[in-house]
Amino acid sequence: MDLTRRHLMTSAFTLGAMHAFPGLSHAQARRLVFSTFTGSWEEAHKDVLVPAFRKATDNAEITLDPLLSMDQIAKVKASPANPPIDVMLHDPGPALVAIDQGLVEPFPFASSPHYKDLIADAQGEMGPAPFFQVVGITYNPEKMKTLPTSWADIWKPEFKGRVGITNLNSTLGTGWLVEIARSRGGSEANVDAGFKALEELKSNLGAVAANPGALATLYQQGQVDIGPGNFNAIQILKARGVPVEFVAPKEGAIAFRTTIHIVKNSPNKELAAKLIDAALSPEVQGKLMEAPYLIVPTNTKVKMSGEIAKVLAKDHDDMKKKFVFQDWKKINEQRAGWIEKFNRDIKI
Amino acid sequence: MIGCDVSIDYPHLANPSFCAMQTTAPAITTYDLKLTLPLAAFFVVFFLSPLAILLYVSLHTDAAMTAHGLTQYGKFLLDPFSLGVLGRTLWVGVQVTALCLLLGLPLAWVYVRLTGGLQTVLMVVILLPLLTSVVVRTFAWIVILGRQGIVNSTLAALGVIDAPLRLLYTEGGMVVALAQVQMPLMVLPLITALSRLDPNLLDASAALGAGHWRTFRRVVLPLILPGVIAGCLLTYAASITAFITQTLVGGGQLLFMPMYIYQQASTLSNWPFAAAISIIFLAAVLAVVSLFNVLGRLSKGYAHA
């Protein structure tokens, strides 16, 4: 081959393009791509789920593409016929959006050895829940005279300027608003009571964070001392030595089904089903339940232990009693209006 | 060649080599333009076409994108709340730019006066924000502005305040944080402009009886005005679109355009409305930028006056 300028340039451009768009080189057959959530979820899945999957599939290749739910949807929506993701992980709201838009296909549960062992709330044809996310009261124990036990404690006058919440962009913020509405006679279809409660909370509100991650930071900085919080986000702070505790309120902790889905038109459907099955297995869920992951299991074969048994539920029957599940189909119908109302009305 | 006969006005230019240059000049120009083709192609593919798609998406009446119409624009432009968000965003940009200019001009002035090692040290300090991630810089501001942060604990120790002030998640706190984050964009053009300033001009002005203020206003300012305008333009554009800093220091309840777009696009999957907001925001920013450009053109007249 002549080493001409033209050749060199062509090679350089090709190499550059391949580097910039790795998808170019293996558009046909590619390895399985799993979009998990960012941060601690990615770490947990890399440490536990990926090795279990590779063991079960004779070392099949897998890539993690950590993205927020809505970003996963955007990425799949951009090329639905040739999706860059095979398996998606979703909060309840986005999961319904993905199903409604026809981006996912049913999970072949009949051929799954573990699906039948899931508690009823975790089953679902369009995608089962390998774990739950749980929202309860987060508080700084060093700043409390009496420890909180109920959502109503957040409205106590002693917490003037000390309460932190998120806006309704997050599942946490919206789910909490619905729960507050329900505790005051409202429902998923009517959250007026929740907005009224927020109005009454204004003098206590110290901060409205943009997302759950930013909210967690505020406890670390001593900016706020009490508010609704995600069990797993709090465990990360606790592990870093921040004085913060989580308690399931007596009204019940809010549980979000986090569901895992096979993307429609995925070229790796069989491997995708195997990955999901691994995520449902008692071995993986049992390991993820232990520290430092502390991820709430949905498989009834997993015996609850440690922090989760202590703080949340001692077994799956206890879980059914203590967890509150919400109807996100109803919530999604009106969420846009609530966000608009929150934008306009909540000023502190 | 007609144009080559310059010997009448400029006899010293009338030589053969100059004429040869004249004839080859157009060829050089075309060659130059060809070199920009890769960049032009890059812009068409990665900037113009996404922009066209954005415009197309914004022209749908519903979130599922089934019908065409201008309703999304109407929804925004006829809604006082949405216009308020746009106005507040543009106003934040003005505040940040003004603060950057106020603090950046003396800094650039000091830099130009310094010599040797000190100048290098100051340059590192000025550039340091550019070398750290925006997220890290912004988190530092959360530590500074928090209830137990540096500002509040200092004020409390001095006995100025009894209870901690609310600084984080306020517009004031956010403006200060944005000003620090964007400061290099203001200072660097100012330094370039100031170092081109001939110091003899200042001496001349003083010798002719002008005071410091008058020298600054009549001599320095007109000459560095292009630098000032460049700095303002960069700072303004960067601060109104600074999603990360606006979100982390401004919080979830001060709504600005970037967050508004994100909310509609990502949380609510309402792409047409998000696209329409983006186009309106783009138009508003372009209007402000053109205003800066007009000022720039006027300033040239001012400088030569």
Q: By the CB < 8 Å criterion, does A92 face chain B? A: no
Q: Could you tell me if B143 and B22 lie in one domain?
A: no
| A331: closest chain B residue by CA | B268
**Mean of per-residue pLDDT scores for chain A:** 91
Rounded mean pLDDT of B260-280? 92
Q: Which of A127-131, A179-183, B20-24, B134-138 is least confident?
A: B20-24
**A244 neighbors A237 (Cβ within 8 angstroms):** yes
Q: Would the pLDDT of B10 be above 70?
A: no
Structural domain includes residue B56: no
A169 at the B interface (CB within 8 A)?
yes
Rounded Cα gap, residues B286 and B196, in angstroms: 29
- Domain assignment of residue B49, yes or no: no
Count CB neighbours of A57 within 10 A. Answer: 16
A176-230 per-position pLDDT tens digit: 999 999 999 999 999 999 999 999 999 999 999 988 888 988 998 889 999 999 9
Which range is least confidently modeled, A64-78, A251-265, B78-92?
A64-78
A171 has a pLDDT exceeding 90: yes
More confident residue, A260 or B10: A260
Q: How many domains are contained in chain B?
A: 2
Which CATH number does the domain A28-131+257-303 belong to among 3.40.190.10, 3.40.50.1820, 3.40.50.2300, 2.40.30.200? Answer: 3.40.190.10
Confidence of residue B4 (pLDDT cuts 50, 70, 90): very low
* Mean pLDDT on B159-184: 92
Q: How far apart are the first and last CA of chain B?
A: 39
- Token pair, residue B213, equals 């203020």
Strand-strand pairing, A323-325 and A32-35? unpaired
Whether B273 is in a domain gets the answer yes
pLDDT of residue A11: 73
Which residues in A160-170 are b (16+ Cβ under 10 Å) and which e? Answer: ebbbbbbbbbb
Looking at the complex, report in whole angstroms how far the Cα of residue A90 sits from the nearest Cα belonging to chain B: 13
Residues B229, B164 share a domain: yes
Q: What is the mean pLDDT of residues B278-293?
A: 92
A309-338 tens-digit pLDDT:
999 999 999 999 999 999 999 999 999 999
CA distance B42 to chain A (A): 12
Same domain, residue pair B243 and B158 = yes
Per-residue confidence band for A346, with pLDDT thresholds at 50, 70 and 90: confident
Q: Does A152 touch chain B (CB under 8 A)?
A: no
Residue that wins the pLDDT comparison between B175 and A29: B175
B268 in contact with A at a CB cutoff of 8 Å? yes
The Cα-based distances of A178 to A122, A198, A205, B263, B291 in angstroms read: 21, 11, 18, 19, 47
State the smallest CA–CA distance between residue A110 and chain B in angstroms. 33
Rounded to whole angstroms, the Cα distance separating A97 from A297 reads 24
Interchain pair B247, A222: CB under 8 A? no
Check whether residue B26 and residue B85 sit in a common domain. no
B271 shares a domain with B126: yes
What chain B residue is nearest to A208 in terms of C-alpha separation?
B252
How does the average pLDDT of chain B come out, rounded?
86
| Tokens 């975790």 -> residue | A122
- DSSP one-letter string for A148-173: --SGGGGG-GGGTT-EEEE-TTSHHH
The average pLDDT across A154-159 equals 96
Question: Which residues of B are less than 8 Å from A221 in CB distance?
Answer: 142-143, 146-149, 168
Whether B152 is covered by a domain: the verdict is: yes
Among chain B residues, CA nearest to A335: B268
Average pLDDT (B134-162) is 90
* Contact residues on chain A for B142, CB-CB shorter than 8 A: 217, 221
Listed in sequence order, the residues at least 6 apart from B68 whose beta carbon sits closer than 8 Å to its beta carbon are B59, B60, B61
Q: Are strands A163-166 and A296-297 parallel, antiparallel or unpaired?
A: unpaired
Across the interface, whether the CB atoms of A210 and B146 are under 8 A apart is answered no
**Range of the structural domain that residue B185 is part of:** 79-304
Q: What angle do CA B175, B161, A237 make, to 5 degrees?
A: 65
Q: Per-residue pLDDT for B304 more than 60?
A: no
Residues of A whose CB is below 8 A from B268: 335-336, 339
Fold of A133-255+327-345: D-Maltodextrin-Binding Protein; domain 2 (3.40.190)
For B143, residues 6+ apart whose C-beta sits below 8 A from its C-beta are A221, B149, B150
Give how far B241 is from chain A: nearest CA, Å. Answer: 16
Does one domain contain both B176 and B273?
Answer: yes
User: From the CA atom positions of chain B, what is the Rg in Å?
Assistant: 26
User: Between chains, do B148 and A222 touch, taking CB under 8 Å as contact?
Assistant: yes
Q: Which residues of A touch B266 (CB under 8 A)?
A: 68, 70-71, 74, 169
Name chain A contacts of B250, Cβ cutoff 8 Å. Answer: 210
State whether B297 and B193 are in the same domain: yes
Q: pLDDT class for A3, splitting at 50, 70, 90?
A: low
pLDDT at A245 over 90: yes
User: In this complex, do B253 and A348 lie within 8 Å of one another by their Cβ atoms?
Assistant: yes
> Residue B88 sits in a domain of what CATH number?
1.10.3720.10
Q: What is the pLDDT of residue A4?
A: 73
Domain membership flag for residue B8 = yes
Q: What is the DSSP string of A302-347?
A: SPP-HHHHHHT-SSHHHHHHHEEE--HHHHHHHHHHHHHHHHHH--
Q: For chain A, state the CA radius of gyration.
A: 22
- Amino acid, single-letter form, for residue A310: K
Q: Could you give the percent of chain A with pLDDT greater than 90? A: 80
Helices (H), A21-78: 40-44, 50-56, 69-78
CB-CB under 8 Å, A343 with B255: yes
Q: Is the ipTM of this complex over 0.85?
A: no
Same domain flag for B119 and B187: yes
Bond preceding residue B11 cis, omega within 30 of 0: no
B79-118 residues touching A, CB cutoff 8 A:
81
Distance CA A70, CA B266 (A): 6
In which band, very low, low, confident or very high, does the pLDDT at A30 lie, cut at 50, 70 and 90?
Answer: confident
pLDDT in the model for residue B302: 59
A161 touches chain B (CB under 8 A): yes
Best residue in A343, A345, A346 for a mutation probing chain B (most B CBs within 10 Å): A343
Task: Compute the average pLDDT of residues A281-308.
Answer: 94
**H-type helices in chain A, by residue range?**
5-20, 40-44, 50-56, 69-78, 92-100, 171-183, 192-201, 212-220, 231-239, 269-280, 282-289, 306-311, 316-322, 328-345
* Domain shared by B142 and B252, yes or no: yes
What's the number of CA atoms in the CB half-sphere (13 Å) around residue A302?
31
Q: CB-CB: which of A217, A221, A335 is closest to B148?
A: A221
* pLDDT for the residue numbered B107: 95
- Sort out which chain B residues have CB atoms less than 8 A from A98's CB and list them: none
Distance CA B249, CA B176 (A): 10
Is B50 contained in some domain? no
* Span B184-193, average pLDDT: 95
Comparing CA positions, the residue from A200, A228, A243 lying closest to residue A133 is A228
Phi, psi of B214 (to 5 degrees): -65, -40
Q: Is B242 on the interface with A (CB under 8 A)?
A: no
Using the predicted structure, report yes or no on whether residue A165 has a pLDDT greater than 50: yes
- Tell me whether residue B253 is in a domain: yes
Per-residue model confidence (pLDDT) at position B294: 87
**pLDDT value at position B28?**
56
Segments making up each domain of chain A, as ranges: 28-131+257-303, 133-255+327-345
Q: What is the mean pLDDT of residues B29-48?
A: 86
Q: For A130-148, write each residue's pLDDT tens digit.
A: 999 999 999 999 999 999 9
CB contact under 8 A, A169 and B247: no
Token output for A183: 């505790």
Interval B47-78: pLDDT, tens: 999 999 999 999 999 888 889 999 999 999 99
List C-alpha distances in Å: A299 to A285, B7, B102, B192: 7, 95, 62, 65
Answer whether residue A341 shows pLDDT above 90: yes
B96 and B26, same domain (yes or no):
no
To the nearest whole Å, the CA of B208 is away from the closest chain A CA by: 57
> What confidence score (pLDDT) does residue B300 get?
67
A198's tokens? 């927020």
Same domain, B284 and B173: yes
Percent of chain A residues past pLDDT 70, beyond the cut = 95
Could you tell me if B14 and B163 lie in one domain? no
Question: Are the folds of A28-131+257-303 and A133-255+327-345 the same?
Answer: yes
Q: Mapped to the 3 state alphabet, what secondary structure does chain B carry?
A: CCCCCCCCCCHHHCCHHHHHHHHHHHHHHHHHHHHCHHHHHHHHHHHHHHHHHHHHHHCECCCCCCCECCHHHHHHHCCHHHHHHHHHHHHHHHHHHHHHHHHHHHHHHHHHHCCHHHHHHHHHHHHHHHHCCHHHHHHHHHHHHCCCCHHHHHHHHCCCCCCCCCCCCCHHHHHHHHHHHHHHHHHHHHHHHHHCCCHHHHHHHHHCCCCHHHHHHHHHHHHHHHHHHHHHHHHHHHHHCCHHHHHHHHCCCCCCHHHHHHHHHHHCCCHHHHHHHHHHHHHHHHHHHHHHHHHHHHHHHHHHC
